[in-house]
Amino acid sequence: MGGESRYEIHQDAYIKLVLHAVKHRTSSVNGVLLGRSSADGDSVEIVDSVPLFHSQIGLLPPLEIALIMIEEYYAEKGLSIAGYFHANERYDDFELATVAKNTGDHITRYFPQAALLLLDNKKLEALPKGKDRRPVMQLYIKDASRSWKLVGSEGGNQLSIKEPSGNIVLLDYLASEKWKDIVDFDDHLDDISKDWLNSELFQ
Amino acid sequence: MVSKTEEDQVNRLESQVENGGGGEWEYLCLVRKLKLRRSYNVLKYGLSILNDPKKRSAIGPEEWTLYEQVAAAAMDCQRLDLAKDYVKVLLEKFPESKRVGRLEAMLLEAMGLWEEAEKAYSSLLEDNELDPVIHKRRVAMAKAQGNISGAIEWLNKYLEIFMVDHDAWRELAEIYVSLQMYKQAAFCYEELILSQPTIPLYHLAYADVLYTLGGLENLHMAYKYYASTIDLTGGKHTRALFGICLCTSAIDQLTRGRNKDDKENLQLAPLSALALGKDYKQRAPNKVSMLASTLRSLKLSS
């Protein structure tokens, strides 16, 4: 709970979230993070992610079904819902949406070190020009006063991509328009033959 | 708003083009007709026609409509260089045109020059007070600047004049949902259901909002509207079927220990669970066990 935890996100989990945001660039999108905390509680590993919705975010019915299903599936793999991802509709909007905070609050009840990730559009845009290995997301965690605080890259709490090649692979996928293939829970509810696990995505 | 068949048609054309089978012009016409926002592809395909003199002359006088369509798409994709070029071409061809004037104002918007755009729109409105496109651009501008309450104000003003614009009601509802103003969103869906009672999408959205608002009365209403959605869609609507299950479970929890009479009208849950089970078995077999445990945790079995 606060303190000096480190957050590490696996490449595939990271890329899925960004691709989802890019696929639906004219709306907000959100997703859920799956992971586990280390035995000593010092770090959190975000092993996977599931893109959730790209429309009417905040309505409870689809969210409740999604969370139940996702929890059931990943519990068998020893992973819990460890956080939430949100990308705002507008390019320059860095405000943490209320729905993000509310969902984050809910997740924190079961996973106290839950992370809230917000897509940083400016970093994403700058990615092709630089060699930044850091994720193009802002990390928020709940501090002692029970509110969501932005975590800077200085200090112990930071977010990193597990594989150093993370952003390079991401750029590759963006160039090849891989985001067209990503499936979210909204897509699944519209057509249940669509796989929100995206198990074939990185084959 | 487009029907599933229309959307399938567009997607089919899109794959056709992507796989080298041609059909760019058909796609562009269809997107224009259905008023879809597919700027990425419109720009791509539009450019392939406009940059090729043979293809351009093949579409004859429709060339100008294409310039307009691609200019707007270019603005959406932040290709302002292209947008400026095309607006210039249209200005040369149609120097006095109000329609091109609107496009020019949109370009100002795309460049983030909000005050200039607002001035341009105001002066265009002087000659044509009832141009719905300009009114809607005002809403879009407010939204783009993050002035959501302004967008709501303009949109409400717009709806006072153009109250039959269903897409505008939906836009307003969605804005309210994004601000967690669920009561207001519910009102919008009520208006939509009143004017178009046989469109299942509105029943479903209304039900979703009611469920989100919560409380026994709203849950009962949501249940009713999930049921009507199922009715209007021949019993296969996944979201509505799940909605019935969620409502039943929630009502159950709220009325625990109460009179059984309260629950007498909730007969659809087991049927919905069954319908979902069948559908998943057929179309998503690897998720059947996930569905089963989900329904179990809602205290319903399939």
Walk along chain B (302 residues) and give the pLDDT tens digit of each residue: 777 788 889 999 999 998 999 999 999 999 999 999 999 999 999 999 999 999 999 999 999 999 999 999 999 999 999 999 999 999 999 998 999 999 999 999 999 999 999 999 999 999 888 899 999 999 999 999 999 999 999 999 999 999 999 999 999 999 999 999 999 999 999 999 999 999 999 999 999 999 999 999 999 999 999 999 999 999 889 999 999 999 999 999 888 877 666 556 778 999 999 999 999 999 999 999 999 999 999 986 44
Instruction: Identify the band that residue A3 occupies on the pLDDT scale cut at 50, 70 and 90.
Output: low
Cα(B232)–Cα(B229) distance, integer angstroms: 5
Q: Do A62 and B283 touch (CB under 8 A)?
A: no
Residue among A72, A90, A193 whose CB faces B294 most closely: A72
In Å, what is the CA distance from A88 to each residue of A22, A118, A185? 11, 8, 18
Bridge-based pairing state of the strands A115-119 and A137-142: antiparallel
Which residue from B minimizes the CA distance to A62?
Answer: B239
The tens digit of pLDDT for each residue in A68-126 reads 999 999 999 999 999 999 999 999 899 999 999 999 999 999 999 999 999 999 999 99
Instruction: Identify the band that residue A2 occupies on the pLDDT scale cut at 50, 70 and 90.
Output: very low
Cα(B167)–Cα(B1) distance, integer angstroms: 7
- Burial classification of residue A203, based on how many CB atoms lie within 10 Å of its CB (0-12 exposed, 13-18 middle, 19 or more buried): exposed
Q: CA Rg, chain B, in Å?
A: 24
Cα(B72)–Cα(B14) distance, integer angstroms: 19
Q: Which residues of B touch A65 (CB under 8 A)?
A: 242, 246, 294
Q: Which residues of B touch A68 (CB under 8 A)?
A: 294, 297-298
Distance from CA of A90 to the nearest CA of B (A): 7
Classify residue A153 by its DSSP letter: S
Q: Which residues of A touch B240 (CB under 8 A)?
A: none
Instruction: Identify the band that residue A132 occupies on the pLDDT scale cut at 50, 70 and 90.
Output: confident
The phi, psi pair for A109, rounded to 5°, reads -60, -30
Q: Specify the pLDDT at position A179.
A: 94
Q: Do B212 and A64 touch (CB under 8 A)?
A: no
Q: Which residues of A touch B144 (CB under 8 A)?
A: 90
Q: Do A56 and B177 touch (CB under 8 A)?
A: yes
Neighbours of B263 (CB within 10 A): 13
The DSSP result for B144-188, as a single string, is: HTT-HHHHHHHHHHHHHH-TT-HHHHHHHHHHHHHTT-HHHHHHH
ipTM over 0.95: no
Tell the residue number behind the tokens 């090729």, with chain if given.
B52
Q: Do B290 and A65 touch (CB under 8 A)?
A: no
Q: Do A61 and B205 touch (CB under 8 A)?
A: no
Which residue from A minimizes the CA distance to B171?
Answer: A56
Which residue from A minimizes the CA distance to B176?
Answer: A56
Q: Given CB atoms, is A72 within the 8 Å cutoff of chain B?
A: yes
Cα(B300)–Cα(B302) distance, integer angstroms: 7
Alpha carbon B140 to chain centroid distance?
A: 14
**In the predicted model, what is the mean pLDDT of chain A?**
92
* Average confidence (pLDDT) over A167-179: 95
Cα(B166)–Cα(B201) distance, integer angstroms: 12
Instruction: Identify the band that residue A1 occupies on the pLDDT scale cut at 50, 70 and 90.
Output: very low
Q: Which residues of B touch A188 (CB under 8 A)?
A: 284
Which B positions 67-126 lie with beta carbon below 8 A of chain A? Answer: 76
Q: Which residues of A touch B180 (CB under 8 A)?
A: 58, 98-99
Distance from CA of B126 to the nearest CA of A (A): 31
Q: Do A65 and B294 touch (CB under 8 A)?
A: yes
Which residue from A minimizes the CA distance to B291?
Answer: A69
Residue that wins the pLDDT comparison between A153 and B120: B120
Structure tokens at A154: 């200085």
Residue among B146, B279, B290 whose CB faces A73 most closely: B290
Q: Which residues contact B85 (CB under 8 A, 6 or more apart)?
A: none
Report the side by side order of strands in the sheet with A43-53: A148-151, A137-142, A115-119, A80-87, A29-37, A43-53, A6-9, A158-161
Q: Given CB atoms, is A75 within the 8 Å cutoff of chain B?
A: no
Residues composing chain B = 302
Q: Given CB atoms, is A98 within the 8 Å cutoff of chain B?
A: yes
Instruction: Identify the band that residue A157 occupies on the pLDDT scale cut at 50, 70 and 90.
Output: low
pLDDT at A171 over 50: yes
- Burial classification of residue B22, based on how many CB atoms lie within 10 Å of its CB (0-12 exposed, 13-18 middle, 19 or more buried): exposed
Which residue from A minimizes the CA distance to B145?
Answer: A90
